[in-house]
Amino acid sequence: MIFLFFLLFPSVSSYGFVTYDFATDMQQLNETRQNDECFFNASEITTVTIEQWPTNCTEVWSIAKFTSRSSEIPYDKLKNTFKTLSVLRGAMRIENTTFTNLSFFGKLRRINNIKRLVTSITDNNNLKNANVLFSLSYTYPNAPIQIVNNPQLDVSALCENINYENFAEMYVYNNLKDCGETLHNPYQLFYLVIGCVGTNFTSSNIGNYANCTSLFGDTEITGTTGLENFSVLSKVKNITGRVNIHDTSFENLSFFGSVERMKGNKNETNFNLHDNPNLTRLGMDSLNYLYNVDAWFVFNISNNHPEFCLTMEEMQFFTSSNIYINKFEAKFCDITTRKDGEKVCIYNTLATLDNNCPHVMGNILVASGDENDTQKLSSVKYIYGSLAIVNTSLTDLSFLGNLTNVAVLGDTSPALQLISNPQLDNVYIPNLQYPFSPGPHRVVIRDNAPGLFPDTISCLTYENQIKSYVFYDGADCYGDSGIVEETENSSRTPNYPMFLLLYFTYFL
C-alpha cells in the first residue's frame, strides 16, 4: 500500500530527505581507515573510477556511491568487481541509477558505519530488487537511512527485519510498497512506519500534515494559539527526533493523544516542554515507549503553568522508562481514580491506611510506634509521594516486598529516607527501581545499624539494585560528602562500569 502525504522538506541533498556532504563524510571516514590498500576515495563509482576499487579486499573503507553514470557500467563488471566484498566500512548510496537490482553485491553482509554517515537508496526508477538490504547487518546502527522515490521497489519487508530495529532516523517513502504500520516483535517494540518530516508547525502549515501517522526529524511548535487547529496530528502514533513545544497557549497536548512511541536520535533534550503559560496537563494518554539508541531519552518539563500536573499513570510510565530528566516541574493531578480500576488510597497516617492498597498517594511516614502497622504496606506497589522510615526498631524492610517505585513531585524531599533506625541492618527492597525526586537526593540512608554498608562495593551493589544513587551517612558510596545534586534525572543509573571494576578488584 502506498501512502501519499503532504511533506514540507528541510534543506536536503540532491536526493531524499537528509543533507550530506561528500568531502566532509570522506574526511570522517578517513579518520577510521586502517588499511590504505583497501581504501576507495572516489566521489562516485563510474566506468573510470571502478578500476580503482580494491578487488582483493573483503573489507573496504568507502562511501560507495552509485549515480546515473554508474548505470553505464556493465552488470558483469559490477559483479566481478564486488564479488569479494563482505564488509563495507562506510556507507552505501545508490541514487538516480537505472539499476534493476543490487545482486552484484553477492557477498556483502555487513556495513560498519562508525561515523554514522547517511545511507541512501533514492530516485532509482527501475530498481525492483534490493534484497541485499534485508540481509545486511549493521555494526553501528542509528545512522540516517533513506529509501525514497523508488517506484518499482517493494521495501515492506524492512518492517519485519530485526537488523533495522535500532535505527531512529529511517525515511521510507514513495516506493512501490513502503513499510506501513507494522510491529515485528512486541517485545522489541520495533515500530517502523512511513511518515512526514518534522518541521516548525504553525497554524498556517499544520493542515498539510493531516494524514501523518509518523513524524521524523526535529519537530517544533511555538508561538501558536488554537489547540483545535492541531487536532490534525491526532493520527500520529510514532515520533522520531527531538520535540520542542514552547511559548504556546496550549492547555494540554491532546492532539498527540494517539502517540504511542517517541524515539530520540541525539544525545540532547529529546522532549522539551517549556514556557507554555496555560499548560496544565500532558494529555498524551497513549504514550507507552520512550527510547534513545545512544543514550537516555532526555526529558524536560519546565516553566509551564504553576498547576501543571501528571496523573498517576503518567508518572508510573516515566519512572519505569529509560529517561534522563533535566527538569520536571510538575505536581500530581488531584485525581484519585485510575483507568485500570486498581485501588488508590490516600495516606493520612499509617494506622488509618486501608489494607490491600497497590497505589498510595501522599508522603508516608513510618515512625516509632508504627512497627506493628507496617504490614499495611505489603501490598503497596507505587507511592506517589515520599517514603520515610525514621526512629523505628525495624531490622529489615521485608514488608516492602511489592514496592516498585516511589516518586515525589512538587517538593524536593528525597523519595526514600531511612534515618535513625539503630537496628536496621538490611535495607534490601527486591522490586524497587528508579525512585524519583526533583530534589538534590533521591535516596538518603543514615544513622542506622552500624556497618550497614561496610565498604564501597556493598553500597554500590545497593545502588545497582535500586537503579539510583544513594546518599549514605552524609556522603556518596565513595565517601565524598560533596556529591553533585541529582535534580536532573529520574532513571539515570549509577556508574556500573566503575561498579564492575571495583567488584573485580575486590573479589577476583
In angstroms, the CA 230 to CA 225 distance is: 9
Highest CATH level, class, for 22-153 = alpha beta
CATH classification code of 197-332: 3.80.20.20
pLDDT in tens, 281-330: 999 999 998 888 667 888 899 999 999 999 999 999 998 887 888 888 99
Let me know: does 405 contact 316? Beta carbons within 8 Å.
Answer: yes
Residue ranges in the chain whose pLDDT is less than 70: 1-18, 141-142, 159-162, 165-169, 179-198, 265-266, 293-294, 482-508
Q: Do domains 22-153 and 197-332 have the same CATH topology?
A: yes
* Per-residue pLDDT, 197: 65
Let me know: does 259 contact 235? Beta carbons within 8 Å.
Answer: no
* Per-residue pLDDT, 185: 36
Domain ranges of the chain: 22-153, 197-332, 344-472
Range 344-472: architecture per CATH: Alpha-Beta Horseshoe (3.80)
pLDDT in tens, 346-396: 999 999 999 999 999 999 999 999 999 999 999 999 999 999 999 999 999
Residue 311: half-sphere exposure toward Cβ, Cα within 13 Å:
17
In angstroms, the CA 52 to CA 191 distance is: 40
The cell for 171 is 525515511
Let me know: does 401 contact 378? Beta carbons within 8 Å.
Answer: yes
Task: Please name every residue paired with 292 in a beta bridge, in sequence order, or none if there are none.
Answer: 264
Farthest CA pair distance, the chain = 88
DSSP 112-146: --TT-PPEEEE--TT--B-THHHH-EESS--S-EE
Q: What are the b/e assignments for 207-238, b being 16+ CB within 10 Å?
A: ebbeebbbbbbbbbbeebeebebbebbeebbb
Burial degree of 34 (CB within 10 A; 0-12, 13-18, 19+):
exposed
Nearest to 280 by CA among 330, 220, 221, 335: 330
